Amino acid sequence: MGISNDGRGLSVSRRKLLGTAGLAAASTTVAMPAIAQSQPSLTWRMPMFVPKNVESVNGAADDFIKRVSDLTDGRFKITKFGAGEITPGGPAVLDAAEQGTVECSFTLSYYSVGKDPAYAFGSTLPFGFNLRGQTAWLYKWGGLELCNEFHNARGTHGLPVGNSTSQMGGFFRKEINKLDDLKGLKMRIPGLGGTVMSKLGVIPQQISPADIYPALERGTIDAAEWAAPYDDFKFGLHKVAPYYYAPGWWEPQATIMVFVNKPKWDELTPQYKAVLEAAASATWTSHMAWNDRLNSDGLRELVKAGAQVRFFSKEILDAAYEESFKLFDELAQRSPAFAKIYPSWKKHLDTQELYYRIGDATYDNYIYAKRSRS
């Protein structure tokens, strides 16, 4: 995307934007403000799927907004709103962009799988790609084009803008050692992960982020997943559900997108489309880096505060894996959109991991074992 670091954050190269405008010949002499001044002034609203106290997600939203403003000399302004301010949380955030009641939304598409399971592909699927695999599929295996064909037909255009990195398996009020321990468990878990958990005997609960802690505290639910250690620590869920499980097999990563209302996207000039694409791409990179910086310290803080790290048993993981891929086959029979995207997703899953297994996993397994003994 022609990204460079100027000390204020990542920014788009002038040549990229000028080329989009058909002014490549002048790219060494025309300053960005001159281009910005030829563009319309825009003010957009952007609701988020989380409250404003979720630090890492809000930081990514702020970075994206600032980049758009900086690249347009302040002529393109986006205002963010926390969940519940102008839209409810959950699927309503994406609904607002699809319906055109806001210009764009900052959210995870998997909250909308109740409308169509194909919404999961833009975020994550159980036992799916890790972060690198998701990046490769979206940008170089045609995944983003397939997702946007789906989203365009429903009223938005998606731009990957952030990622949770690998997530954890949630907080439980009691230890979960075998499959029978899941039976009848009420757990806050969205997306297809919740569907798989239901096949294992869990009763999934759809609860907005702001309501997770009080629901656990009152015993309305027995377990809840949220994200990765840093944000999990900030939520304080360990205080009422001390058993902290890994891995988060239903969210090996979770892609956040800015969903632009499709008519609004179509109205944008080529320069402004390039600005949004480049700002999103830069924020995607910085948000992943920020989460990796935060989460190791977050995990240490959780343990220090009393969280007890546990690991799902092989029995549970094997059962969840089998149910996940049975579910995908079922969904491909029921949803034409899922059936169209799934072959590309599955082919990439089946082929991309060879390199990771030989190159990355052997190195990781050795070095982590070596350092744990140091």
What are the residue boundaries of the structural domains of the chain, listed by start? 3-164+254-293
DSSP codes joined into one string, 20-58: HTT-GGGTTT--HHHHHHTSPPEEEEEEBSS-TT-HHHH
Rounded mean pLDDT, 55-67: 95
Least confident window among 49-58, 90-99, 220-229 = 49-58
Q: pLDDT band at residue 153, thresholds of 50, 70 and 90? A: very high
The answer, yes or no, to whether residue 102 has pLDDT greater than 50, is yes
Q: pLDDT band at residue 23, thresholds of 50, 70 and 90? A: very low
The answer, yes or no, to whether residue 233 has pLDDT greater than 70, is yes
Rounded mean pLDDT, 334-357: 95
As a whole number, the mean pLDDT across the chain is: 90
Residue 208 confidence (pLDDT): 79
Q: pLDDT band at residue 10, thresholds of 50, 70 and 90? A: very low
Rounded mean pLDDT, 210-214: 89
Distance CA 33, CA 364 (A): 46
Dump pLDDT digits (tens) for 282-301.
999 999 999 999 999 999 99
Rounded mean pLDDT, 107-122: 96
DSSP codes joined into one string, 99-140: HTSSSEEEE-GGGGTTT-GGGGGGT--TT---HHHHHHHHHH
The answer, yes or no, to whether residue 206 has pLDDT greater than 70, is yes
The answer, yes or no, to whether residue 18 has pLDDT greater than 80, is no
The answer, yes or no, to whether residue 155 has pLDDT greater than 60, is yes
Residue 35 confidence (pLDDT): 57
The answer, yes or no, to whether residue 21 has pLDDT greater than 80, is no
Q: pLDDT band at residue 182, thresholds of 50, 70 and 90? A: very high
- Does domain 3-164+254-293 fall under CATH 3.30.300.30? My reply is no
Residue 273: how many other CB atoms lie within 10 Å: 16
